[in-house]
Amino acid sequence: MLTRKQLELLDFINKRTSRDGVPPSFDEMKEALDLRSKSGIHRLITALEERGFIRRLAHRARAIEIVKLPDTLARKSGFSPQVIQGDRRDPPRDALPVDAIGATELPLMGRIAAGVPIEAISHAQHNVAVPSGMLSGTAHHYALEVKGDSMIDAGINDGDVVVIRESRTADNGDIVVALVEGHEATLKRFRRKGSAIALEAANPAYETRVFRDDQVEVQGRLVGLIRTY
């Protein structure tokens, strides 16, 4: 059974995709439901997906498949399931077919907190295949499973696998794996100001944490994300 807000969002997505051929943006959803932040839309979308009403399509902008509707909405709209392609432009001139891209095995080192920091991760659990195009040069890369929701406004959800390029430095605005005080690892946006380092969440429910620069060690930068549906 859906809540009122979940039903309103599902009805809005269905009407807009029927009218325009593509789903509405998160900003349009937020405005239509009169919510204060996109994090509320993320939670509603996740709830609809978990209940089997929609499916998000990986690596496609604004791509949602409506799988089913409640009986009342289905009868009203004459709904039949279809895949909505968020970007209907022709592929880039130099794009490679998916089966020609190839994949590389990376060690999945464990779970990384996108919330409050958790114990540092140091041992590989198993390997995960990632598209070779995510990897750059000869740098060492590894993968981590995300735990928590503090980065959802950056498109990183609980359970996602992030691909990290090993690095000891970062530019302001980079999303990094940061080791805090030698024993806690977290995934956050990096900001440096003088001798202070701020680790910013991408969710208004979490506060920015500020440390001395000797308390934070950058261990890698985010270069890719893998989501399983």
Annotated catalytic, 18? Answer: no
Q: How far apart are CA 142 and CA 124, in angstroms?
A: 9
pLDDT of residue 85: 41
The more confident residue out of 132 and 181 is 181
Model confidence at 82: pLDDT above 50:
no
122 assigned to active site: no
Choice among 30, 38, 39, 188 that is catalytic: 188
Which CATH number is 164's domain given?
Answer: 2.10.109.10
**Same domain? 78 vs 31:** yes
Residues 48, 122, single domain; the answer is no
Structural domains of the chain, count: 2
pLDDT at 123 over 60: no
Average pLDDT in the 76-97 region?
49
In a shared domain, residues 79 and 102: no
Q: Are residues 79 and 118 in the same domain?
A: no
Instruction: Determine the pLDDT at residue 171.
Output: 94
What CA–CA distance (Å, rounded) separates 90 from 76? 34
Give the range of the structural domain holding residue 160, as residue numbers without chain letter: 98-226
Which residues, including other chains, have CB under 8 Å from residue 173's CB and lie 6 or more apart? 189, 190, 191
Do 132 and 76 fall into the same domain? no
Residues 132 and 46 in one domain: no
Backbone angles phi, psi at 218, to 5 degrees: -70, 130
pLDDT digits (tens, 9 = 90+) for 133-192: 777 777 888 888 888 888 988 989 888 888 888 899 999 999 999 988 887 888 999 999
Q: Would you say residue 6 has pLDDT above 50?
A: yes
β-pairing, 103-113 vs 141-147, is parallel
Which tokens go with 190? 């990096």
Q: What is the pLDDT of residue 24?
A: 83
Whole-number average pLDDT of the chain: 78
Residues 111 and 189 placed together within one structural domain of the fold: yes
Q: Which of 27-41, 82-96, 213-227 has the highest mean pLDDT?
A: 213-227
Residue 63 maps to a domain: yes
CA distance 24 to 11: 12
Q: Domain holding 46: CATH number?
A: 1.10.10.10
Name the percent of the chain lying above pLDDT 90. Answer: 17
What is the reported pLDDT for 75?
Answer: 61
- The closest alpha carbon to 153, from 47, 64, 42, 66, belongs to 42
- Is the domain of 107 the same as that of 198? yes
pTM: 0.53
Q: Which of 39, 147, 150, 195 is catalytic?
A: 150
Residue owning tokens 């409506």: 66
123 lies in the same domain as 216: yes
Can you read off the two tokens belonging to residue 77? 């709209």
Sign (positive/negative) of CA torsion 186, 191, 197, 200? negative
Lowest mean pLDDT segment, chosen from 52-61, 135-144, 212-221:
52-61
Mean pLDDT across 30-45: 85
Q: What pLDDT was estimated at residue 87?
A: 43
- Which pLDDT value is given to residue 84? 39
Q: What's the pLDDT band for 102 if we cut at 50, 70, 90?
A: low
